[in-house]
Chain A
């Protein structure tokens, strides 16, 4: 008989989980492993709600094993460290993002891109090295190998900083990798949500000119007055789009729905780069002529390695970049998910775990 999840490990834990593809979350008792010699245990204070959490709880990618405790934008305060831990001590402010393990020996791991390790272990919903399931940050405590823990600088607010651990790194990494980080360059950002608004903030901090490309005219004022975007294009306005053709060095495309690439490729200058960070589950149409005639490219990127995530957090702290958030109590999470589905949030929900996650 399978052990109940509460007895699987030695430390009691409590969170909210989805139990079926309705995606409805509710209180859930489980357990976490005792702090191993390389582990860091921390009390969770805040956890961001990423759209991936929603895809997962509803099994939209077809890979979910229930029950699942989502959450991979987790911040808190260290309560215990293992005997071999060197980078953290009790009382430190820390975070955990999208992964909690990797093989640590392949070429990708050695080059600090653990996120691309073939044996990379996601923070929730997959098997850990010991065969047990990983549970995410919609919970009271986290235990993680020190290698996958991020130090949060003192001056970075924890609530606004939490979403950096997924949304932040997901846009920061490709800006660096594809060379779209040089002052004076012109970057387009498609989609103004959790990822998009972070891309605007990072790119402005790097000195780029930023144009937001959106289907919603009502986001324009916000984008320009509050986020600092230099321009705003309505993708359905063909005249505006035509005027902007051939003006952008790069575009970060955060849209997960199936959408047209041709107009976006047209916005790029010669040698321009369209970077996909949203992941539509169906293929998109790629007209090859425009790619060839301007030596343009379409590339992808998926979050980032631990070294780069720490670099991103430090950059954010230095430039006072945090996510724009709506802090919610744990029991609002189902409503938050419904609103997230309609993109009705500016721009990330963050669960106030410490003050609202009450064991039952």
Chain B
């Protein structure tokens, strides 16, 4: 007979889980494995609320196995290290992001692209190598193989740094891969939420001209004055969209809802690249003529490997890039999820786990 979650492993753990597709989270007792030779045990201090947490809690993608403890943007302190652990010591501040395991042998793993390994193990809602379910960062502690733990630079604050572990790497990786780091080039960022606002900050740090493309005019002042965007385009203003045709070298599309690609493709110059990092649950319509007539492309990107995630954290620490966050207590999570569904947050909720998750 299968063991209950709190008896599956030797170390008691406590968090908040969703139990059905209402997505409502509530207290949940479970357990974590004993710290193995290559493992690091981490006391979780903060955990960002990613929109993927909401999609998963409500089973919007259709592959949730309840109960699920979400959370893959966590920062904490090392409590214990295994005998083979070289990179971390007790007391250090570390982060855990979207993945906690991979095969370590395939071509992707060997190229530090563990995120593209066919056997990637996700921080929550996956199965670990021992066959047990993985639980995420809306919890008091986690045990992780050192390969999938990030060192948190000293000058990077925990609250503002936590969302970088998913949102940050999700936009940083394609910006590097698709060549969006040449100063002077023009980047469009579609959608101004958790991913989008970090993309604006990183784009500016790379020396790009940045235009935010949004369906909502009310974010304009914020985008330009506070986030540093150079301009702001509202998709429902035809004259302005027309004037911007053929002006952008790249677009990072962070929008998760189904939306038209044709207007975005029109904004690209010859050889322009539209990179989609949002995850709509239905297919999008892809017009082919604009691709052929302008040698344009639509590409995807999915978080990043461990090496690149560390590089991203160090880059953000160097350039003073953090997410704009609203720190909340664990018991606010239901309201936070409702607000997140309406994009009512500037721009990431971060749960103060250590101070609000009672045993």
List A contacts of B36 (CB < 8 A).
none
Nearest CB to that of B118 among chain A residues? A246
Q: Are A300 and B108 in contact (CB-based, < 8 A)?
A: no
Is A65 interfacial (CB-CB < 8 Å)? no
Is A3 interfacial (CB-CB < 8 Å)? no
List A contacts of B301 (CB < 8 A).
292, 295
Is A223 interfacial (CB-CB < 8 Å)? no
Is B293 interfacial (CB-CB < 8 Å)? yes
Is A301 interfacial (CB-CB < 8 Å)? yes
For B107, B108, B278, B292, the residue with the greatest tally of chain A CB atoms inside 10 Å of its CB is B292
Q: Are A294 and B300 in contact (CB-based, < 8 A)?
A: yes
Stretch at the interface among A71-79, A86-94, A278-286, A329-337: A278-286
Is A32 interfacial (CB-CB < 8 Å)? no
List B contacts of A281 (CB < 8 A).
289
Stretch at the interface among B71-79, B201-209, B280-288: B280-288
Q: A7 to chain B: closest CB distance in Å?
A: 35
Q: A292-B279, A295-B116 are in contact. Are A286 and B296 (CB under 8 A)?
A: no
Q: A271 to chain B: closest CB distance in Å?
A: 8
Find residues 258-297 in chain A having any chain B CB closer than 8 Å to their own CB. 261-262, 270, 273, 276-281, 283-297
Nearest CB to that of A284 among chain B residues? B286
Is B157 interfacial (CB-CB < 8 Å)? no
Against B, the Cβ 8 Å flags (1 = close, 0 = not) of A15-48 are 0000000000000000000000000000000000
The docked-state distance in angstroms from the alpha carbon of A168 to that of B77 is: 60
Is A179 interfacial (CB-CB < 8 Å)? no
Is A108 interfacial (CB-CB < 8 Å)? yes
Q: A228 to chain B: closest CB distance in Å?
A: 27
Is B233 interfacial (CB-CB < 8 Å)? no
Find residues 284-321 in chain B having any chain A CB closer than 8 Å to their own CB. 284-302
The docked-state distance in angstroms from the alpha carbon of A293 to that of B303 is: 9
Q: Are A299 and B295 in contact (CB-based, < 8 A)?
A: yes
Nearest CB to that of A107 among chain B residues? B270
Nearest CB to that of A170 among chain B residues? B292
Is A298 interfacial (CB-CB < 8 Å)? yes
Q: Are A300 and B293 in contact (CB-based, < 8 A)?
A: yes
Q: A289-B279, A293-B302 are in contact. Are A279 and B286 (CB under 8 A)?
A: no
The docked-state distance in angstroms from the alpha carbon of A110 to that of B17 is: 60
Q: A215 to chain B: closest CB distance in Å?
A: 19
Nearest CB to that of B299 among chain A residues? A297
The docked-state distance in angstroms from the alpha carbon of A301 to that of B288 is: 10
Q: B185 to chain A: closest CB distance in Å?
A: 14
Is B102 interfacial (CB-CB < 8 Å)? no
Is A116 interfacial (CB-CB < 8 Å)? yes
Is A224 interfacial (CB-CB < 8 Å)? no
Q: Which of B270, B286, B295 contacts A261 (CB 8 A)?
A: B286
List A contacts of B284 (CB < 8 A).
285-286, 288
Is B323 interfacial (CB-CB < 8 Å)? no
Is A360 interfacial (CB-CB < 8 Å)? no
Q: Are A295 and B302 in contact (CB-based, < 8 A)?
A: yes
The docked-state distance in angstroms from the alpha carbon of A262 to that of B284 is: 12
Q: Are A280 and B288 in contact (CB-based, < 8 A)?
A: yes
List A contacts of B279 (CB < 8 A).
288-289, 292
Is A153 interfacial (CB-CB < 8 Å)? no
List A contacts of B270 (CB < 8 A).
108, 113, 116
Q: A284-B286, A288-B284 are in contact. Are A293 and B292 (CB under 8 A)?
A: no
Is B276 interfacial (CB-CB < 8 Å)? yes
Q: Are A300 and B116 in contact (CB-based, < 8 A)?
A: no
Q: B102 to chain A: closest CB distance in Å?
A: 13
Q: Are A300 and B285 in contact (CB-based, < 8 A)?
A: no
Q: Are A298 and B298 in contact (CB-based, < 8 A)?
A: yes
Q: Are B113 and A297 in contact (CB-based, < 8 A)?
A: no
Q: A113-B270, A292-B276 are in contact. Are A298 and B297 (CB under 8 A)?
A: yes
Find residues 177-222 in chain A having any chain B CB closer than 8 Å to their own CB. 177
Q: Are A270 and B116 in contact (CB-based, < 8 A)?
A: yes
Q: A285-B283, A285-B285, A292-B277 are in contact. Are A297 and B295 (CB under 8 A)?
A: no
Is A302 interfacial (CB-CB < 8 Å)? yes
List A contacts of B285 (CB < 8 A).
283-286
List A contacts of B300 (CB < 8 A).
288, 290-297
Q: A294-B300, A295-B302, A297-B300 are in contact. Are A284 and B293 (CB under 8 A)?
A: no
Q: Which of A261, A283, A302 contacts B293 (CB 8 A)?
A: A302
List A contacts of B262 (CB < 8 A).
283
Nearest CB to that of B290 among chain A residues? A300
The docked-state distance in angstroms from the alpha carbon of A280 to that of B262 is: 14
Q: Are A286 and B286 in contact (CB-based, < 8 A)?
A: yes
Find residues 66-85 in chain B having any chain A CB closer than 8 Å to their own CB. none
Against B, the Cβ 8 Å flags (1 = close, 0 = not) of A161-182 are 0000000000000000100000
Sample of 4 more A-B contacts, CB < 8 Å, known A291-B276, A297-B297, A300-B296: A278-B288, A279-B289, A290-B300, A300-B297
Q: What are 15 sample pairs from A and B whose C-beta atoms fall under 8 A apart? A: A262-B283, A270-B108, A270-B116, A273-B297, A276-B292, A283-B286, A283-B288, A285-B285, A286-B286, A288-B278, A288-B284, A294-B300, A295-B301, A298-B286, A299-B295
